[in-house]
Amino acid sequence: MSNLDDKTVASFGDEWSRFDQSGFADAEALKVFNEYFAVFPWERLPAGAEGFDMGCGSGRWARWVAPRVGRLHCIDPSAALAVARKNLASVDNVMFHSGSVAASGLAPGSQDFGYALGVLHHVPDTAAAIRSCVALLKRGAPLLLYLYYAFDHRPWWFRALWRVSDVVRRVIIRLPPGLKHLVTDAIAALVYWPLSRLAGKLEKLGFNVQGFPLSFYRQHSFYTLRTDARDRFGTPLEQRFTRDEIEAMMRDAGLVEIRFSEAAPFWCAVGAKGR
């Protein structure tokens, strides 16, 4: 089983070809990287560590990981791999693989670390995908995951808003690529931008905005808002999981010492392959 959804693969190839991260300022890119890697145990990696970026997309994470390790394998089944090659052309310790989570081309038990951020909730069988990632790791090696959360710590009205947005998503994913980008850009301008900036203003007035819709983006650029609106509303296959469900899948895959980030984005979690 390839554990791929062809329409989703094509969608990501189109997305990262358009949003190649060339408009992403270094300071913001590093800030976002630190948010996603907040719980990653860098100190546990051996000297010259070799690891993988599963579903590397444009290479936006690899850009910051590669200087910290010995070798990094960037794996992606979509046309985005060509974007990653271009963006990382000056980095000499990155190898590129046209492959999937179920067929990466890496040897089992060969990797000192791995990460899959915003990827495994877009495959048909997320639990199997986590097992595939763990199989590539050496014993004790860490795996960092980011999976869409199921709003399990949000109030009912927040979940109701998401249900409405998901109806909109199911319409948008049927649009041709060009029109899809126009619509998601409009969502970024008319929904993401005003709500995130309102959250920022309320925060400056002393309000706690952690539960405010789209408050995560209050300090992010419009380029990031456009990218994430396209990702959220333009991707055909999307799954969401509670924290308990993610932990259960990680344990079933053989991960131990599981730790979750308590800050957005939700949910980021890291575990080590059991000994």
Measure the N-to-C terminal CA separation of the chain; round to a whole number of Å.
Answer: 28
Query: What is the mean predicted confidence (pLDDT) over 74-86?
Result: 95
pTM: 0.93
**Confidence check: pLDDT of 255 > 80:** yes
Strand 255-260 and strand 50-54: the pairing is unpaired
Q: Tell me what percent of the residues of the chain surpass a pLDDT of 70.
A: 100
Give dist(CA 28, CA 8) in Å, integer.
27
Confidence of residue 208 (pLDDT cuts 50, 70, 90): very high
* pLDDT at residue 53, rounded to an integer: 98
Give dist(CA 228, CA 226) in Å, integer.
6
Mean confidence (pLDDT) of the chain: 95
Cβ atoms of residues 6 and 77 within 8 Å: no
Other beta carbons within 10 Å of 91: 15
* pLDDT at residue 210, rounded to an integer: 86
Please state which CATH class domain 6-150+240-273 belongs to.
alpha beta
Give dist(CA 104, CA 107) in Å, integer.
9
Query: What is the mean predicted confidence (pLDDT) over 11-15?
Result: 91
* pLDDT at residue 1, rounded to an integer: 56
Nearest to 266 by CA among 169, 145, 168: 145
Q: Which amino acid is located at 251 in the chain?
A: R
- Order of strands across the sheet that contains 255-260: 94-98, 71-76, 50-54, 113-117, 142-146, 268-273, 255-260
**Confidence check: pLDDT of 221 > 70:** yes
Cβ atoms of residues 60 and 94 within 8 Å: no
Cβ atoms of residues 78 and 53 within 8 Å: no
Sorted by where each begins, the domain ranges of the chain are: 6-150+240-273, 156-234
